[in-house]
Amino acid sequence: MLKLLLVGFAVLLVQGCAVGVKHDYQTPLDLRVSTSAPVAVATLDNRPYIVNGQKTPNFVGLSRGGFGNPFDVTTQSGQPLASDISSAIVASMKGKGVDAKVVELKPGTAESDALSQLRAAGTQKSVLLTLREWKSDTMVNVGFGYDMDLRVYDRNGKVLAQKSERGNENLGPGEAFSPGGAARVMPRYKSMMEFYFQDRDVARALQP
């Protein structure tokens, strides 16, 4: 009987930790971007389940209870994932003295319209990060699927640099006091953003 009670308690504990999980995508980034060129930054959320309204724009993954039942993980801020990522990128740039600004895009915005809105910001360079997939899935292990494309444009809309990456990763076992795999997902997010912006071609394209 005691064993059954302990198992039941463990299931309830996991279930409780799975509900209402939030991840902080406004966590500081160290992009090491230094340029005298003003930069506009936009993140375009093209995840199909966001565009069709199945999930809200602040959805970032799933946290599963003791029986595998999924609960949505959302952004800590309550803002769309795209907004949080753009804000974190711009904050890092400003920390290096870059004149950077966020351009907000609605999910599913056509690429041509996205570029028009970036050009309308009047900056010398523009960055468009497109998310086609971005979702963690956590129970015992932490899964992470992503598909994204980063482009740097000049003021006329010419592509100066492009970097794309997609994958499905097992980030390892979840941690008891890190609901929804945050201890695995957030460092991976941080390292990906920093890797993108520290790429030689991207860094060069952001120069005047």
pLDDT tens, position by position, 121-153: 999 999 999 999 999 999 999 999 999 999 999
Instruction: Give the angle 193-195-198 at the CA atoms, nearest 5°.
Output: 105
Q: Is 30 within the bounds of a domain?
A: no
Q: Is 3 within the bounds of a domain?
A: no
| Structural domain of 55 | 35-205
The bridge status of strand 100-102 relative to strand 159-173 is: unpaired
Q: Is 5 within the bounds of a domain?
A: no
11 pLDDT exceeds 50?
A: no
Domains of the chain: total = 1
pLDDT tens, position by position, 38-84: 999 999 999 999 999 999 999 999 999 877 899 999 999 999 999 99
| CA distance from start to end of the chain | 71
Q: Is 18 within the bounds of a domain?
A: no
Q: Is 90 within the bounds of a domain?
A: yes
1 pLDDT exceeds 70?
A: no
Q: Is 23 within the bounds of a domain?
A: no
Confidence of residue 17 (pLDDT cuts 50, 70, 90): low
Say what the alpha-carbon torsion angle 120, 122, 125, 129 is, to the nearest 10 degrees. -30
4 pLDDT exceeds 60?
A: no
User: CATH code at 140?
Assistant: 3.40.50
pLDDT above 70 as % of the chain: 91
Q: Is 190 within the bounds of a domain?
A: yes
Q: Is 69 within the bounds of a domain?
A: yes
Closest among 67, 50, 69, 48 to 58, alpha carbons compared: 50
